[in-house]
Amino acid sequence: MTGGFQDPTGASVPVLRLGDVLLVTLQGELEDKAAEQLQQDISETIAGSSATGVVIDVSGVEIVDSFLGRVFAEVAASAKLLAAETVVAGMRPAVAITLVELGLTLPGLRTALDTDDALRMLTRASTPLSHGPARQENA
């Protein structure tokens, strides 16, 4: 099957490694077959690289259905079993509303406003004291 933005192998969404974190950026609609392949790619990459976190950037996604919501939940569950945490970043309000209306709770997923926040959340959790004392925030 050719056309669209998928290559012949079906790997349409790259899984990038940034240190101990994997970054996946979704743009536009993700077809069911590509979503299933992505889920497998993420699990294999975590297992092969001992990554401790996964950031799924959905800022380019305008519409989500129950299948894609389930894929997010399954990615988070698989990642957790492989000792990695998943954060979904950049969710648009319409996507969040749709997920709620579909009744999808997405257990195991944390959310962040953007990719930078997600990376901070994951690196803070996985590298305590690696760069000296943490900053103190005034309450």
Buried b (16+ CB within 10 A) or exposed e, 77-113: ebbeebebbbbbbbbeeebeebbeeeebebebbbbbe
Number of Cα atoms under 13 Å in the Cβ half of residue 65: 7
Residue 32: per-residue pLDDT: 85
pLDDT higher than threshold 50 for residue 2: no
pLDDT higher than threshold 60 for residue 8: no
Q: What is the pTM of this model?
A: 0.79
Residue 18: per-residue pLDDT: 92
Q: Mean pLDDT across the stretch 126-138? A: 44
Average pLDDT of the chain is 82
Residues in the chain: 139
User: Residues with Cβ < 8 Å from 24, sequence gap 6 or more?
Assistant: 13, 14, 15, 16, 38, 42, 54, 55, 56, 57
pLDDT higher than threshold 60 for residue 34: yes
What kind and span of H or E run contains 88?
Answer: strand 85-89
